Structure 1
Amino acid sequence: MSSPHLLTPEGKLAAAKKLLGLPRIVVICGSTRFMTEMNEADVRETMAGKIVVKPGIDMKSPHALRSDPAEAEALKTRLGDLHRAKIRLADEVLIVGDYIGDSTRAEIAYARSLGKPLRFTHPEVDPDA
């Protein structure tokens, strides 16, 4: 008989990662104003042998595909949902940057509610420190 915790989706995911021999997965969070820093963190984490997931779209930079304000707002909502899925997938969360806005603060709270370990490139911005 399997352990009761393995019946949860989180337990099943953890067991599958272990069976597959996957390296730790780190999700990078933070304001997209720090995309350069996120890319550098991606390099460091990848070189450390981790699978890295991070924001794929910088909503702060103009792009022709986001020129319609209504479509851009809908995309922002979808991207928020996608990023929360990345947080659920990850084994740990790395917060990049020396500024924490509302979106990042919500991501931190979400990650903590899931019991995910968090690291900060700038620990002084941890809202719970």
Structure 2
Amino acid sequence: MPDVPDRPEIVCLCGSARFADEMAAANRDLTLAGAIVVAPGVFARSEHDAAGVPTDAQRAALGVLHLRKIDLADRVLVVNPGGYVGESTTREIAHARATGKPVSFSHPVAESDPS
């Protein structure tokens, strides 16, 4: 593990819930590199998940909470295997850019994506 500076970099992960495994790997890699990682906290994708699917109201609240996580971060890493960036992630990218946060991507963005 590297030396941890007095104020480690804070990285916010963004991306589709379908990439929960890839986000977990990015979280691990960044944490082992000495960063503080903030990421979506709920990845329930179907009624078969142990915690169930969040309600529409919960999803809306989680979306706002994630924007506040972006506000706390020094930069944003979009986890986007195959170049996929969905509607919620596009909104998060726009928020990050509007607040002056650098945005990078784990994979090249798909050609059809306006992000």
TM-score (norm 2): 0.82
Instruction: Tell me if structure 1 keeps the 8 A contact 2:46–2:52.
Output: no
TM-score (norm 1): 0.74
Instruction: Give the one of 26, 44, 58 matched to 2:43.
Output: 58
Counterpart of 2:76 in structure 1: which amino acid? V
Q: Which has the larger radius of gyration?
A: 1
Counterpart CA distance in 1 for 2:95 and 2:69 is: 11
Which of 50, 56, 74 lines up with 1:73 in the alignment?
A: 56
Separation of aligned partners in 1, 2:50 and 2:24: 23
Q: Does 1:107 align with 2:92?
A: yes
After TM superposition, give the deviation of residue 22 of structure 1 in Å. Answer: 2.0
CA RMSD of aligned residues (A): 1.8
- How far has the Cα of 1:96 moved from its partner? 0.2
Q: Give the drift of 1:123.
A: 2.5
Aligned to 1:86: 69
Q: Does 1:127 align with 2:110?
A: no
Report the AA paired with residue 103 of structure 1.
S
**CA-CA distance at 1:59 after TM superposition:** 3.7
* Pairs aligned (count): 105
**One-letter amino acid of the counterpart of residue 9, structure 2:** R
Give the deviation of 1:65 after TM superposition: 5.0
In terms of fraction of residues, the more helix-rich structure is 1
Structure 1 residue 124 displacement after superposition: 2.6
User: Identity over aligned residues, as a percent?
Assistant: 49
Structure 1 residue runs of 5 or longer lacking an equivalent are 1-20
Q: 2: distance between equivalents of 1:77 and 1:102?
A: 13
Matches of 1:61 and 1:24 in 2, distance apart?
A: 33
